[in-house]
């Protein structure tokens, strides 16, 4: 089966540890519709893609549409703000605890990536400082 946008979405969900049911709820898809599209190797509508990109702001659009580049974009300031907004929004909506736990898990994983990136920047800075 050739990799397409729907397969890349599934790859992203697996990478982030997001359940398909939670994903469908967040992007406004009916229960089981994503799994059905994936199973039958269907396409996904532009309206759903827009919702996905609004809700999951760390997905690189070029990767999602073409498979080229990195799955996750690293725009630290925007991503950090979006992570907190997503967690706050879920808390405000008083959704069930599983969804809240899922959002917090996403937040932790995203923050780990940001910390790793900052550690790498610090190491480069130290290396450059020592060579002066």
- Cβ(77)–Cβ(50) under 8 Å? no
Count CB-CB contacts under 10 A for residue 56.
21
CATH 3.40.190.80 fits 1-73, yes or no: no
**Percent of the residues in the chain that have a pLDDT greater than 90, as a whole number:** 5
- What would the pLDDT profile of 42-62 be if each residue is shown by its tens digit? 888 888 889 899 888 888 888
- What would the pLDDT profile of 110-132 be if each residue is shown by its tens digit? 888 888 888 888 887 787 777 66
For the chain, give every domain's residue range: 1-73, 76-132
pTM of the model: 0.55
Question: Given a cut of 50, is residue 76 above it in pLDDT?
Answer: no
**Percent of the residues in the chain that have a pLDDT greater than 70, as a whole number:** 77
């Amino acid at each position: 089966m050739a990799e397409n946008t729907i397969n890349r979405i599934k790859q992203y969900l697996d990478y982030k540890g997001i359940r398909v049911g939670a994903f469908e709820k967040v992007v406004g898809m009916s229960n089981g519709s994503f799994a059905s599209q994936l199973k039958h190797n269907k396409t996904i509508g532009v309206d759903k893609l827009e919702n996905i990109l609004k809700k999951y702001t760390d997905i690189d659009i070029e990767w999602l549409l073409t498979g080229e580049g990195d799955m996750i974009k690293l725009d630290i300031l925007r991503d950090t703000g979006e992570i907190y907004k997503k967690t706050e929004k879920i808390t405000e909506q008083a959704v069930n605890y599983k969804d809240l736990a899922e959002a917090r898990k996403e937040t932790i994983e995203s923050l780990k990536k940001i910390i790793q990136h900052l550690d790498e920047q610090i190491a480069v800075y130290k290396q450059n400082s020592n060579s002066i």
